Structure 1
Amino acid sequence: MAQRPIGSALGALGGMVGLAVVAGVLVTALVTPALAVTGLATSSSIGMFENLPGYIKPDRLAEKTNIYAVDGASNPVLLASVFDQDREEVGWDQISQFAKDAVVATEDPRFYTHGGVDLASAARAAIENTVESEGPGASTISMQYVRNILVQRATEIADEGEREAAFDDATKTTIDRKLKEMKLAIGLEKEYSKDDILLGYLNIASFGGRVYGIQSAAKYYFGVNASELTLPQAASLIATVNEPNGLRIDLAENLDANTARRNDDVLAAMLAEHRITRAQHDEAVATPVTPVITPPSTGCQSANGIGAGFFCDYVTNIVRNDPAFGTDAETRWADFKTGGYQIYTSLDVDLQQNAQNVMNEYVPMASEVLDLGASLVTVQPGTGRVLAMAQNKYFNQDPEVAAPDNTALNYSTDFDHGGSTGFQVGSTYKMFVLAEWLRNGRSLSEVVNGSPQRFNQASFADSCNGAASGSYAPSNDGGANPGRVTVTTAVQDSVNNAFVAMAQKLDQCAIRKTAEAFGVHRADGSPLTEYVADVLGTNELAPLTMAAAFAAIANNGTYCSPVAIDRIVDAGGEELPVPVSTCSEAVAPEIAAAMAYAMTRVVTAGSGTLSDPDDGIPHIGKTGTTDLEKDTWFVGSSTKLTTAVWVGNVQGTVSLRHNTIAGRNGGDLRHHVWREYMTIADSKYGGDAFPEADAAFVRGSQLRVPDVTGLTEDDARQRLSASGFDADVAAAIDSSVPGGRIAASTPATGESASAGSTVTLVPSNGALRVMPDVVGQTTAAATSELAALQLGPVTFVGVSGGVETRGGTVLGSSPAAGVDVRPGDRIALTVAPAAAPAGG
């Protein structure tokens, strides 16, 4: 019998396995003899085929992660997408039939009839490729799907060497690799339907660059969903699958090649396979390839439209840092970029747009005066939800386009969350001294010395580190010398020396611990310091930290850690656990109420009046200005929203207060931003009255100041302490009290003052004398007594006529008896003349 040509034999073999079910059973038995007959496979290849695993399960595909904010109607608003592969997995009914028909007709016309391997095509391709010394071809859709699964697995390997080896193994042009694909394709077809395999292929396939899957390809290249693809569009996309980067149509130089492949291969195959009519074919061929490139919302830079790039970056850093998302940072980030998560954040689009608009109005992105930076952060009291985060820059992570108006540095957050190492917070830190003051049972009406003074640092208790040495002489803002002030006034007017005097009565370690109870921590991750100067805000903190801390005051003393993610839904629609705010009591509610009482006056009558929205909503707040005015702050709150605004030097020490920026005083920019932003924010969120402060914290116990006149300093201090007062000592004054003894006190003897107030002792230098009572004495006796007291010169004034300097009686004196007189002051005595001697 004549020998049949190989093609005829294989054609008969293909007919024998025409039905998919039959093919799936027989192909394993038949492919080995077929290859052996051709002599194209070594015995090792045949053995490998028999020993290969016959099952592969499609993995979860890498999909882009979307990050959302919410608008005024609580609708999700896409901020950005983060991905390595731009892919959006879709279902069977979400793909145009044109795309399905195009890929089958072009890549695998007998897809619905073979069992995973098209034997006739495989054998023919093996013969041709061997003759031409090229790799094997004729891959079915099932085989291509297998290859894509293996390539996808390779891309997800963290180790670069292992990743490259796995990729080479999945793509190398060898008989062994082809046999592996065949065996796995056969196994795949036993487990999944044809439609499922085709759907998986269309979702996994590369369409050039970072675009994967038919849905993302349709959106990127034509701006439509996969279900809306026209015949020419679908054919153009399917034309790219066997050479994705060489035929991608977002590159102008590829359009001719893509058109040729679309027309000559894809559309021609669809016509030949009766998937389209001649009229459809001709019309599609006549349609030019016209891409409508629609880049996806890629990375956090795409959130710059509402100024949310930095918030978006903060969210990505939460994912990198929080163990809730994985065991290590690399795993967390890789999973984030490929997991297809829908992340719904706390960001309020209304507040965010308002924040960015106000920031743009008042703080320029760059200044010739200084390296200008500004940040605004809003936290919701009671939940810790971050509602707004804006700064005076565009978010940009590309160093090649770096400019003064953009940065990747988030001024609002800690270093570990994409931020800087923080900024000195100035007098905003005084609130933690105030909290500790009230925790110690002291009141707002206590009086402290706010005058410039030199403090002995050894007199400041520190139960953690021990007292420091040396002296510290802080100045008040603007060189003010307010003297003795109540604590309320010290808060209202931000009197530096008053707060250092308050800290002198407290434990420095306890002040630090109280600050930490409010969530305060250094932005660089180092421990908070507790030097005496720290009570005036020398620790470098992030604005988000300060906003969350002040939110605790508005939340009745309960601190809630900041959170930015409300919900996460995975690619399968399942809700995942998210980092939650942890709340704990920083101070008791009555202490928070007393703090709010004093802080209200900062806004209504003190250093923060320029920030007051004056919109009928109660606000509390605190200003902060550092040395040289290089950093300026206003942190304040309603009962609904807490906002921190920082404006300062990113680098350098240029004074804001002594420079004009964009036509305004640089030191006032913080106030303009806070006032304008909160005015609009209040209109949406409103605000209630703060709780009424307990009278015990406002007024304290009122006590009478004891008489300490004439006592030594030690005796006077003991008497004041026994009466419930502290004491300090002023400079000595001219007084008739013996030198070194107390001449007076402030408050004065008998006046009322709050328990614990500082009574200032005023010692005498002994420079004055008390005018003695010389009335009735002879002029000689009076003159002698005055001379003994070093008083004089003495003049005499007669009652009438001449004055007799010898003899006579003193009728009066000026100064009068009992008045303090300085030695050397003139004394005038009024005398009656001596009686004339009797005549005889």
Structure 2
Amino acid sequence: MPAVFLARAKGLSKLLGLCLIAGVLVAAVLFPVAAGFGAVSNQAAETVNNTSAEVEERLPATNTKVTDKDGNVIAHLFHQNRVIVGADAISEQMKAAIVAVEDRRFEEHDGVDWQATVRVALQNQMSGEIEGGGSTLTQQYVKNYLAFVVADGDPENPEYAAATETTIARKLREARIALDLEKRMTKDEILAGYLNVVPYGNEIFGVHQAAEAYFSTTPDKLTVSQSALLAAIVNAPSSLNPIRRPEQALERRNVVIQLMADQGRFSEDGPEENQRIADEIKQEGLGVGETLNQTYNGCVGAGTGHINGFFCSYVVNYLVEHGFDLDEIKRGGYTIQTTLDARATDAAKQAAEHHVPKNADGVANVMAVVEPGTESHKVRALVANRDYGVDPAQYQTQIDLPSYVTTFGAGSIYKVFTAAAALERGYKIGQQLDVPEVYTSNTYRGPNGPYQVRNASQNLPEQMSLTDALAKSPNTPFIAMQEDIGVGAVVDMASRLGLREGMNEVNLSGTAIQPDSPDGRLNQSQGDAVTNGNQGSFTLGAGPTGVLELANVSATLVSGGVWCPPTPIEEIRDRNGNVVPIDEAPCEQAVDKGLADSMVVAMSKDTAPGGTAVNAATNAGWNRPMLGKTGTTQNYASAAFIGATPQYAGANLIFGDTPSPQPLCNGNPPHLCQSGNMYGGNVPARTWFDTMNVLHDGLETAPLPAAHPRYS
């Protein structure tokens, strides 16, 4: 991705080319103390040219903003905490303060203050050493640019040493570049460039972030007192830290105010009026709080209560997976507008925590919300009852619970894939299926012989339609159906409908694969392992699953069988405002539209009497047509629910998030236990309905499609 510089700070970009074209100054004028100056001059020129060649396209690192779909900032990503602003966005008081303390003759010289240079040269000659002083703001701009942009502020970088060493070569380099810089940039541009580049302590770079951190304001609104403090701490941000050393900072601030008065920068009415104003301003406090208004870097702390951290992390991972360089993202000053819907996120977070409090020991409740469509599937919310953060004592985690593929299954939700694959091979949604209490397979093998499965519910009818089977969820007819069409067809359908990562990633089968595995399963994906191993349990959903992909499965079905990648990206713009393309996978017709529509109809009875989610729907007052499916894994290790209307699709998964998970028990709150009684129709379905009631409030009731005759 090419880095594009901010137009408002166009003067900064000009600096990069100056090292190549600046002329050599007369050594005896600049540094009379230097013997053999010709050699020094040549050395400096070579250093400058080498530096330019290495950093020809290096630009000041600038904060990248991550926003929600409405443009509200949810996170910042940066290498150096800096936001570049133009000269017109910096108060005149700030400009006056920095000139007063650093370079009172700034408006008069041409980049080098010859008076100061001669004075310092004479002092150097007297002392026999190269000392500081005499540098103009333009020269300091050059020094800071080389130190914090070219050398990245890294003391281990040789360019940093070259930019900060006390040598004639360095002074010459700065002077040469400064003289040419003044020919190419206005004084205002140079001032803005300097104020944008320099550090202000506390890992803050540039006047924009300094104004925000210390005073919760913007640089165009900085007062004299505030400006004087920032100008004071620029050259000694550690020793004059106003948080840790307020007395020293106040003393130096007042020095700056006095310099401004001595230079007549407050009034044209003479020294007495300038002094009166200065004395009045000196009475003001520092105006800095006990803590900084700090900009958080990264996804930890994203959003009030860390609510957006999981989504932010998904965005970063998504961009990296799609070819973006993370270091460039942190430096490039991009604006990444995401698909995050604050209302959906808040509703899902409240529902997740309501049904499983964040302090529930060892129990995670996660949810993903996706907006269906035939041109995109936009991710609207990724939440958990946990917070995204680094403090486990506060129930925080940096594991991407709502977006990664967990080691836990979704249970009977996988029967959806078996049903869809069966329709593709001639089954009908109204077709009657045998429902024996126990089914012994002649195809699949268990640990002790033929694979045998029984239904979780008793007293089921001996036969029921495929539609009723999806609602009541007996196990035996789906094992028989998978046996008939082949487990490979079911795995393929799962991948096509949305479990792309879950089926295709290597070593996600949930069981250890030994290097000397006799069946050759080393480095197989879950899908290959299931297919090659002819695992009959696949339709019962014991394998690793991700809740985001489950949500996208229901979005695919309700979108007429069109699969799209679950995208968190609305638009990306570079620091110049230009759109940056992202190469996402195109949407595709994963299954025939008639098949998808028929599956929606077949899954529409889960909230009707007899359906496994009817109680949750009734208690939530849900009365809209929808598709839904519950799932519970063996031994109640996890439970899930997927559902969708034409407007929103979502999925919930509850599981144990401890190193040694146990069965889950439904209770207040849900908890780990020895036996387990957690079903998909409990916490997962309740969380889904509570979320979706909020999101559908005010929306028209959208009808479901009709089943296609071919699949009816």
State the TM bucket, normalised to the shorter chain.
0.7 to 0.9
Q: Does 1:93 align with 2:85?
A: no
TM-score norm. by structure 1 comes to 0.72
Other-structure match for 2:397? 407
Distance change (3 Å), C-alpha of 1:180 and 1:500? same
| 1:291-310 pair list within 5 angstroms | 291-292=288-289, 293-305=292-304, 307-310=307-310
| 1:221-260 pair list within 5 angstroms | 221-249=214-242, 251-252=243-244, 254-260=245-251
Report the AA paired with residue 116 of structure 1. Answer: G
Other-structure match for 1:661? 669
Give the counterpart of 2:592 among 585, 588, 608: 588
Distance change (3 Å), C-alpha of 1:143 and 1:573? same
Distance change (3 Å), C-alpha of 1:205 and 1:658? closer
Other-structure match for 2:16? none
d(CA) in 2 for partners of 1:198, 1:117: 15
d(CA) in 2 for partners of 1:37, 1:349: 65
Other-structure match for 2:135? 139
d(CA) in 2 for partners of 1:151, 1:525: 44
Q: Note the alpha carbon deviations across 1:570-599, whole angstroms, 9 max, x for none.
A: 211212113546211121111112211211
Report the AA paired with residue 705 of structure 2. Answer: P
Report the AA paired with residue 281 of structure 1. Answer: A
8 Å CA contact 1:448–1:501 kept in 2: the answer is: no
Q: Does 1:392 align with 2:372?
A: no
| 1:431-442 pair list within 5 angstroms | 431-442=416-427
| 1:719-734 pair list within 5 angstroms | none
Other-structure match for 1:477? 456
d(CA) in 2 for partners of 1:453, 1:231: 83
d(CA) in 2 for partners of 1:662, 1:653: 13
d(CA) in 1 for partners of 2:648, 2:613: 17
Give the CA deviation at 1:44: 2.2
Distance change (3 Å), C-alpha of 1:48 and 1:672? same
Distance change (3 Å), C-alpha of 1:227 and 1:599? same
d(CA) in 2 for partners of 1:262, 1:694: 78
Report the AA paired with residue 492 of structure 1. Answer: A
Unaligned runs of 5+ in 1: 1-26, 326-331, 415-419, 461-466, 699-840
Distance change (3 Å), C-alpha of 1:99 and 1:459? closer
d(CA) in 2 for partners of 1:115, 1:235: 25
Other-structure match for 2:491? 512
Distance change (3 Å), C-alpha of 1:442 and 1:183? same
Instruction: Report the 3-state secondary structure (helix = DSSP H, G, I; strand = E; otherwise coil) of the residue aligned with 1:431.
Output: helix
Q: Does 1:609 align with 2:614?
A: yes
Report the AA paired with residue 310 of structure 1. Answer: F
Report the AA paired with residue 689 of structure 2. Answer: R
d(CA) in 1 for partners of 2:456, 2:262: 87
Give the CA deviation at 1:684: 4.4
Give the CA deviation at 1:659: 5.4
| 1:331-730 pair list within 5 angstroms | 332-368=325-361, 371-382=362-373, 383-396=376-389, 398=390, 401-403=391-393, 405-414=395-404, 421-458=406-443, 470-478=449-457, 482-523=461-502, 525-526=505-506, 527=525, 528=527, 529-530=530-531, 531-580=535-584, 582-605=586-609, 606-612=611-617, 613-651=620-658, 652-657=660-665, 661=669, 666-667=678-679, 668-698=682-712
8 Å CA contact 1:239–1:262 kept in 2: the answer is: yes
d(CA) in 2 for partners of 1:649, 1:479: 28
Distance change (3 Å), C-alpha of 1:52 and 1:645? closer
Deviates more, 1:650-659 or 1:176-185: 650-659
d(CA) in 2 for partners of 1:577, 1:468: 51
Q: Does 1:148 align with 2:155?
A: no
Give the CA deviation at 1:43: 4.3
Instruction: Report the 3-state secondary structure (helix = DSSP H, G, I; strand = E; otherwise coil) of the residue aligned with 1:303.
Output: coil
Q: Note the alpha carbon deviations across 1:476-513, whole angstroms, 9 max, x for none.
A: 22456543333222211111111001111102212211
Q: Note the alpha carbon deviations across 1:108-141, whole angstroms, 9 max, x for none.
A: 1121222211122123224435617463332211
Unaligned runs of 5+ in 2: 1-21, 267-273, 507-524
Q: Note the alpha carbon deviations across 1:317-361, whole angstroms, 9 max, x for none.
A: 2222221x2xxxxxx111111211111111111111111111221
Report the AA paired with residue 494 of structure 2. Answer: A
Distance change (3 Å), C-alpha of 1:188 and 1:498? same
Give the CA deviation at 1:79: 0.9
Report the AA paired with residue 222 of structure 2. Answer: L
Give the CA deviation at 1:389: 1.2
8 Å CA contact 1:376–1:389 kept in 2: the answer is: yes
Give the CA deviation at 1:522: 4.5
Report the AA paired with residue 400 of structure 2. Answer: N
d(CA) in 1 for partners of 2:556, 2:194: 53
Larger radius of gyration: 1
Report the AA paired with residue 611 of structure 1. Answer: A
8 Å CA contact 1:458–1:469 kept in 2: the answer is: no
Quote the RMSD (CA, aligned, Å): 2.8
Q: Does 1:269 align with 2:259?
A: yes
Give the CA deviation at 1:695: 4.0
d(CA) in 2 for partners of 1:132, 1:232: 40
Deviates more, 1:618-627 or 1:99-108: 99-108
Distance change (3 Å), C-alpha of 1:603 and 1:156? farther
Instruction: Report the 3-state secondary structure (helix = DSSP H, G, I; strand = E; otherwise coil) of the residue aligned with 1:618.
Output: coil
Instruction: Report the 3-state secondary structure (helix = DSSP H, G, I; strand = E; otherwise coil) of the residue aligned with 2:199.
Output: coil
Other-structure match for 1:716? none
d(CA) in 2 for partners of 1:481, 1:58: 71
Q: Note the alpha carbon deviations across 1:776-824, whole angstroms, 9 max, x for none.
A: xxxxxxxxxxxxxxxxxxxxxxxxxxxxxxxxxxxxxxxxxxxxxxxxx
8 Å CA contact 2:25–2:176 kept in 1: the answer is: no
* Structure with higher RCO (Cα < 8 A, 6+ apart): 2
Distance change (3 Å), C-alpha of 1:151 and 1:677? same
d(CA) in 2 for partners of 1:30, 1:199: 26
Other-structure match for 1:169? 162
| 1:785-824 pair list within 5 angstroms | none
Report the AA paired with residue 525 of structure 1. Answer: E
d(CA) in 2 for partners of 1:219, 1:99: 14
d(CA) in 2 for partners of 1:535, 1:58: 55
Instruction: Report the 3-state secondary structure (helix = DSSP H, G, I; strand = E; otherwise coil) of the residue aligned with 1:212.
Output: coil
Deviates more, 1:493-502 or 1:37-46: 37-46
d(CA) in 2 for partners of 1:29, 1:538: 74
Other-structure match for 1:179? 172
Other-structure match for 2:115? 120
Distance change (3 Å), C-alpha of 1:589 and 1:125? same
Q: What is the aligned-residue identity percentage? A: 27
TM-score norm. by structure 2 comes to 0.84
d(CA) in 2 for partners of 1:52, 1:437: 72
Instruction: Report the 3-state secondary structure (helix = DSSP H, G, I; strand = E; otherwise coil) of the residue aligned with 1:245.
Output: coil
Give the CA deviation at 1:615: 3.8
Other-structure match for 2:271? none
Q: Note the alpha carbon deviations across 1:45-104, whole angstroms, 9 max, x for none.
A: 24435666589789532111111114xxxx422212122222121122211111111111
Report the AA paired with residue 639 of structure 1. Answer: P
Report the AA paired with residue 313 of structure 1. Answer: S
Give the CA deviation at 1:153: 3.2
d(CA) in 1 for partners of 2:301, 2:487: 46
Other-structure match for 1:281? 278
Q: Does 1:106 align with 2:101?
A: yes
Report the AA paired with residue 551 of structure 2. Answer: A
8 Å CA contact 1:346–1:386 kept in 2: the answer is: yes
Q: Note the alpha carbon deviations across 1:448-472, whole angstroms, 9 max, x for none.
A: 3322434345379xxxxxx999411
